[in-house]
Amino acid sequence: MRNRTLNLVFNWLMVTIGYYGISVSAPNLGGDIFVNFIIVSAIEIPSYVLSILVVDRIGRRLPLCVFLVSGGVAGTCIAFVPTNSNSFWLFISLALIAKFGVAAAFSIIYVFTAELFPTVLRNNGLGLSSMVGHVGGVVAPFIASLNVYGVAVPMTIFGVCLLLAGMSALLLPETLNKRLPDTVDEIENNK
């Protein structure tokens, strides 16, 4: 139970840093800041639709990992994009892929977290995970302000955070079509 809780808290922290960090970094991507913000915000709609379709068919763990790793790879690849005007659309496209992945992961992690905690701890577990995650929401703008060292610096940090979260999510059990645990003993005895 302890490992599961630490893993979920870590995932929430990383996902929230990536989600809010990419959102806050949108104006720094180049081009018109208003258009960038609208595009980065609008990409969430298809990501939510896809996550709804995937979660009930494939499961929770695999889509969470795939969305986090794809967002992390896209965010990390931004470090390798040259900063000239010809690569502007590549930079924006990678940022949109990263935002798509983290937004879909954010919608999945709510459901997944609630299903991983037993009934007696479900509210406390989700509350703890969300609280620690929102610390990431506080930290994200400070990471985004590292753009003074290069536009790719904060996006690379967000990408690495998403990659780490995606890898650690593989250690969590799948909950699709499984009975929700009622007590801590059920979780401890079903390892």
Please tell me the predicted confidence (pLDDT) of residue 191.
Answer: 60
Please tell me the predicted confidence (pLDDT) of residue 82.
Answer: 79
Contacting residues for 102 by C-beta, under 8 A, at least 6 apart = 15, 18, 19, 22, 67, 68, 71, 158, 162
Determine the average pLDDT of the residues in 166-176. 91
Please tell me the predicted confidence (pLDDT) of residue 17.
Answer: 95
Instruction: Give CA–CA dist 94/72, Å, rounded.
Output: 10
Please tell me the predicted confidence (pLDDT) of residue 85.
Answer: 66
Percent of the chain with pLDDT over 70: 99
- Residue, of 187 and 13, whose pLDDT is higher: 13
Q: Above 90 in pLDDT, residue 119?
A: no
Please tell me the predicted confidence (pLDDT) of residue 15.
Answer: 95
Q: Above 70 in pLDDT, residue 125?
A: yes
Instruction: Residue 49: count other Cβ atoms within 10 Å of its Cβ.
Output: 12
177: which 2 tokens?
A: 């079509």
- Residue, of 29 and 145, whose pLDDT is higher: 145
Instruction: Give CA–CA dist 182/165, Å, rounded.
Output: 26
Please tell me the predicted confidence (pLDDT) of residue 7.
Answer: 94
Q: How confident is the model at residue 12 (pLDDT cuts 50, 70, 90)?
A: very high
Please tell me the predicted confidence (pLDDT) of residue 91.
Answer: 84
Please tell me the predicted confidence (pLDDT) of residue 161.
Answer: 93
As a whole number, the mean pLDDT across the chain is: 89
